[in-house]
Amino acid sequence: MTKPPNKPVTNAVKKAGTAAYILRLYVAGATARSQQAILRARELCETELDGDYDLEVIDIYQQPLLAREGQILATPTLVKTYPQPVRRLIGNLSNTVGFFAGLDITAKPQPAL
């Protein structure tokens, strides 16, 4: 019996091709750091991008070829592939300001007090 190839875990919020942002999060296994990065990326995308995103989580241990193709040298790494230009952010995503500046994403405006 042959094992089916591993597929990336995708959290497609909208149908493919209609999301305002397409992001790939590369993690290394099911470590606490990987889990923290996944939760933080989803949280930031839901709250700041109003769900208008497609986030693909790729475990480099299960999909080493995708890591090679993406030229991933460290994890966790979040890559914004759309809209252009491609941007990369390495780390656990704890810095919200760095998240938006590093990926060249415009956060939704905060309500006035």
CATH of the domain at 82: 3.40.30.10
Burial zone of 85 (CB within 10 Å; 0-12 exposed, 13-18 middle, 19+ buried): exposed
**pLDDT reported for residue 55:** 92
Q: Is residue 84 part of a domain?
A: yes
From first to last of its 113 residues, the chain has per-residue pLDDT tens of: 333 344 444 444 344 457 788 999 999 999 988 999 999 889 888 887 887 889 999 999 999 999 999 899 888 999 999 888 888 888 877 776 766 776 777 655 555 55
**In this predicted structure, what is the pLDDT of residue 4?**
38
Domain range for 37: 9-103
Task: Indicate whether 108 belongs to any domain.
Answer: no
Q: How many domains does the chain contain in total?
A: 1
Asked if residue 34 is part of any domain, the answer here is yes
Q: Is residue 2 part of a domain?
A: no
Q: Is 32 part of a structural domain of the chain? A: yes
